[in-house]
Structure 1
C-alpha cells in the first residue's frame, strides 16, 4: 500500500472518518487504529508477496510477517512491565537480553544470513578451502529495520529507567504498528510517542490542514521530483554506466542525491502529515541536509531520527567522545559502518558507512586542531548557522560533493558498478544525448527548492493552514492533478521501504 497509490488515499480517508467517529470511546479508538495499522501492513506485504516467490506462499508469508511484529510487540510490552518492578541487576540484564536477542535474531536471519555465509565462503576460498554456502530463500519483511530500532529503544530506555513502562497493552501495540511510520519511519521514540497515545488525541483544524499540506507536498517531492529523476536518468545510468558519457554519469550522481532526498523526505512528510490528521506528532526527519557546511551538520539534518538513534544507543554506548581522541575516531567509524550495514547486507553499504565514518573522524580532528576540547563539544552541539559567507559556501560545496561521492557506493548495485561509475567520469567525455530538458528542469527544481529559506517554507505551510476551506480544496485538487500528470505507469517504490 504505497503512499503514492490511490488505495492509500482511500485507506486514509476511511480510517480518519471512523477514528474520529469513535473519539468518545477511549477503548475502541486505539483498538481500531491498531487494527487498521495491521491491515495496512498486511495489504502491503501481501501485495509485495504476489510479485515474487516467497516461502509459505503469499498468504502464509504475510501472516508470518504480521506475526513477527505482534509477537515482538507483546514480548517487549511484558518485558517492560517486568523491568519496571524488577530490582535485581542480573534479572534486568537477562530481560533486556531476551528482547534484544529476539529482534536482532529476527533481523539477522532475514537480512544478513545470506550475506554472512557468502562472506565466510569468500574468506575460505582465499585460504584454499572450498565451501558451498547454503542460502535461505527469504524476502525482507517491510519496515523490519525501523520497528526493530523503535522497540529496542523502548526496552533500553525502560532498562535505563529513563521512561516508565507502558501502562496499556493497546498503546504499546499501536506505538509499534502505527501505520504512518511503520514501513520507513521516522523512527519514533517511546518517550515522545507513548504519552501521546495515552492521552486523548486532539487535532485542531489548523493541525489537520498542516497535515494535508505535508501529505500534498511530500507526494509532490516523491512523484514529481524523485520518480522523474529515478525513472528517466538515475536507474538507467547506475544499472549500465558503461553506456553513458562522463557528463551524463556526473549528472546522474547529482540526480540521485536529489532523488533520494525527495523520495525519503517526501515519504517522511506524508507520514508526519498523516499522523497529524489523527492528532499525533511524529518527529521531523529532514532539515535541508545539502545546505550543511560539514558532515557533522549533515548528519544532524539527514534522516534525523536514525542519526540521533545511532548517536544515543550506539555511539554513546561505545563511549562517544568521552575517551581519548583515537577512541572517539574508533567509535565514529564503528557507528557509521554499523549504520551502513543497517541499510542492507552489502559491502557497498559497509564502504558507504566507512567513508562517512572516516570523514567524520577527519572533521573531528580538524575541529580539535582549531579549538580547545570544551569549545569542540560546544561547536558540535550548537545549531547550524544560517549566515552566508564565502567560507560557508565553499564548505557546503565540498560537503555536498563528498556526500554525492559516497552516494555512488550506496546506490550502485555492486562494487563493480560503483568503480565503473568512477571510471566513466574519469573518461572526460561530454556528449549528453540522454540529458533530456525535462530531466534537467526537474533536477534544477529539486536543487532550487532544497535551498529555499526554511522560513519561507514554514510561512507557506502556515498560510495554507489559515486559508479558507475552498482555497485549500482548490490547492489540493491542483496538486493531485499535477501528481497524476507527472506519475509514470507504475509508481516507484519508496527507497527506504527496502530497508
Structure 2
C-alpha cells in the first residue's frame, strides 16, 4: 500500500476517524468497572490497522513481525527481571542472534550462498557449479522493524529503559504503520511514552502535518519520480548512450532523486503520525549542504546514522583509544551500514567509500588539532567544502545506484569522455534538478516561516492550497507509480 496511492488515502481516513473516535469515548471505557485499562480500545484498533497495512504488502510475513516482536518483548522482560550478569548477557545474545538471523536469512541467504560458492571455486581451483537460489522475497521493511525491536532489548539490557509493561503497546510500537516499511527508525524512548499518553491534536499540529505531507508528496511525485523516469533510469541503464554532461546530470539527478524520494517518504510518515497525535523526530536536514562527510551523516537519514552510532560504532570503541582504532571503527560501521542496504557488493563498496571519507576527515581534523589550529576553524571556504563533499557523495551514489560494478565503471568512463552535447536534458529536467539542489540551501528559518504562515491561514485557504497541490500531483503523476527507493531495504 503505497503512501501516494488512493488506497492509502482511504486506509488513513479509516485509521484517523477510528483512532480519534476511540480517543474521544475513552472515559466511558475507563468507567466500565475498571476491567479495561484506559486506551486499550484505540491501541488495539491501531494495532489491527497497522497489521492490515503490512498484510496489504504480503500477508504471509505477518507471523514474522508478530513473532519477532513477541519474542523481543518477552526477552526484554526476562532481562529486566534477571539479576545474574551472565544470564542477562545470554538473553541479550539470543535476541541479537534471532533478529540478525531473521534478517540474514531473508535478505542475505542467496548472497551468502553464491559468494561461498565463488570462494570455494577459487580455493579448490575448479567450478563447483551454481547453487539453486532460494529466491526469497525479503519482507518489506524487515531492516527497519528488526533494528527498532532489537534496539529496545539492548536499551533494556543497558538499563537505559525499563521493560515495557503493555504487550499490545509494544506490538504497536514495532508495527505502527507510518514508520513500518521504510522508517524513520523510531527509538522506543521516543515512541512508547507517546503511546502511553492520551493523544491530542491541536489546530497548529494538524496544519503542520498537512503542510509536511504536501511537501513530501511534492518531493516524491514532482521531483523524484520525474527525474527517475526522464533522466536517472535511462542514464544508469545505458550510460554509453549519453554524453559526459548528460551522464553527470544523471548522477546529480540520482542524488536529488534519492533525497527527494526518501525525505519525501519521511515527511509523509511524520505528517501521518502527527495527525494521529504522535510526533516523530526529523530524519533529514539539508544533507547536501554539508561541509564534510561527518556533517553529511549528521544530516542524512538521521535515524539510521544515530542507530549505527549508538549500537555499532560506540560498542566497537568509537573514537576511544588509538587513532587507528577510530578509523577501523568508522570503516566497519559504514561497510556494515552499506551491507544493511542490500545484498550486493556495490552497497558494501558504497559503505567503504563513506568509511574511507570519514577516516580522511577525522585524520585531517586530528592533524590540525595536533598542529595547534583552533578547534572548529574551517579548513577551506564553506562553498568549496560543500562542493567537494557533495561531489564525493555523488561518486559514492554511483555505486549505490548501479546494478553492477560494470555499470558503475561505464558511468565513470562516460563522464571521462568530457562530451557536452545534451539533447536529453530538456528545460523541465534541468529546472527540477536545480530546484532539488537549491532547496538544500533554503534557510531553516525560511522553511519554518513558510510552515507557520500556512498554519496561520484560515481553514478554507489551507484547503484551497492543498487542492492546488492535489491538482499538481495529479498532473505530475506518472502512469505507473515509481516505488519508493527505500522500500527495497
State how far apart, in whole Å, the 1-side matches of 2:415 and 2:380 are. Answer: 28
1:120-178 Cα distance to aligned partner (Å, 9 max, x none): 12222223132232311210110000001101100000000100011101110000000
Structure 1 residue 406 corresponds to structure 2 residue 403: no
Structure 1 residue 282 corresponds to structure 2 residue 280: yes
Q: What TM-score comes out, normalization by structure 2 length? A: 0.94
Structure 1 residue 41 corresponds to structure 2 residue 54: yes
Q: Which residue of 2 aligns with 1:48?
A: none
Task: Tell me the secondary structure at the aligned position of residue 492 of structure 1.
Answer: coil
Determine if contact 1:249/1:421 at 8 Å carries over to the other structure: yes
Structure 1 residue 453 corresponds to structure 2 residue 429: no
Distance 1:131 1:375, change over 3 A: farther
1:414-453 Cα distance to aligned partner (Å, 9 max, x none): 0100001001111111111211221111111111222211
State how far apart, in whole Å, the 2-side matches of 1:264 and 1:374 are. Answer: 41
State how far apart, in whole Å, the 2-side matches of 1:489 and 1:374 are. Answer: 59
State how far apart, in whole Å, the 1-side matches of 2:385 and 2:312 are. Answer: 28
State how far apart, in whole Å, the 2-side matches of 1:472 and 1:325 are. Answer: 54
Q: Which residue of 2 aligns with 1:6?
A: 6
Q: Which residue of 1 aligns with 2:202?
A: 204
Determine if contact 1:216/1:476 at 8 Å carries over to the other structure: yes
State how far apart, in whole Å, the 1-side matches of 2:484 and 2:144 are. Answer: 14
Structure 1 residue 469 corresponds to structure 2 residue 456: no
Q: Which residue of 2 aligns with 1:188?
A: 186
Moved more, 198-207 or 296-305: 198-207
State how far apart, in whole Å, the 2-side matches of 1:370 and 1:273 are. Answer: 43
Q: Which residue of 2 aligns with 1:53?
A: none
Task: Tell me the secondary structure at the aligned position of residue 284 of structure 1.
Answer: coil
Q: Which of 119, 124, 137 pairs up with 2:120?
A: 124
Determine if contact 1:214/1:269 at 8 Å carries over to the other structure: yes
State how far apart, in whole Å, the 1-side matches of 2:237 and 2:164 are. Answer: 47
Determine if contact 1:2/1:44 at 8 Å carries over to the other structure: no
Structure 1: gaps (5+ residues)? 46-61, 380-384
State how far apart, in whole Å, the 2-side matches of 1:480 and 1:451 are. Answer: 26
Moved more, 327-336 or 6-15: 6-15
Moved more, 95-104 or 360-369: 95-104
Moved more, 230-239 or 446-455: 446-455
Structure 1 residue 444 corresponds to structure 2 residue 453: no
Deviation at 1:327, TM superposition (A): 0.4
**Divergent runs of 4+, >2 A:** 124-127, 129-134, 372-376
State how far apart, in whole Å, the 2-side matches of 1:333 and 1:471 are. Answer: 51
Q: Which residue of 2 aligns with 1:29?
A: 42
- Give aligned pairs, total: 474
Task: Tell me the secondary structure at the aligned position of residue 202 of structure 1.
Answer: coil
Moved more, 149-158 or 364-373: 364-373
Give the aligned CA root-mean-square deviation in angstroms. 1.7
Q: Which residue of 2 aligns with 1:430?
A: 420
Determine if contact 1:333/1:358 at 8 Å carries over to the other structure: yes
Q: Which of 65, 69, 83 pairs up with 1:69?
A: 65
State how far apart, in whole Å, the 2-side matches of 1:419 and 1:451 are. Answer: 31
Deviation at 1:373, TM superposition (A): 11
Q: What TM-score comes out, normalization by structure 1 length? A: 0.93
State how far apart, in whole Å, the 1-side matches of 2:19 and 2:397 are. Answer: 41
State how far apart, in whole Å, the 2-side matches of 1:392 and 1:366 are. Answer: 16
Distance 1:94 1:414, change over 3 A: same
Task: Tell me the secondary structure at the aligned position of residue 371 of structure 1.
Answer: helix
Q: Which residue of 2 aligns with 1:112?
A: 108
State how far apart, in whole Å, the 2-side matches of 1:121 and 1:84 are. Answer: 43
1:33-182 to 2 correspondence within 5 Å?
33-45=46-58, 62-63=59-60, 65-127=61-123, 128-132=125-129, 133-182=131-180
Q: Which residue of 2 aligns with 1:333?
A: 331
Q: Which residue of 2 aligns with 1:246?
A: 244
Structure 2: gaps (5+ residues)? 27-38
Task: Tell me the secondary structure at the aligned position of residue 381 of structure 2.
Answer: helix
State how far apart, in whole Å, the 1-side matches of 2:114 and 2:278 are. Answer: 43
State how far apart, in whole Å, the 2-side matches of 1:340 and 1:390 are. Answer: 29
State how far apart, in whole Å, the 1-side matches of 2:463 and 2:211 are. Answer: 11
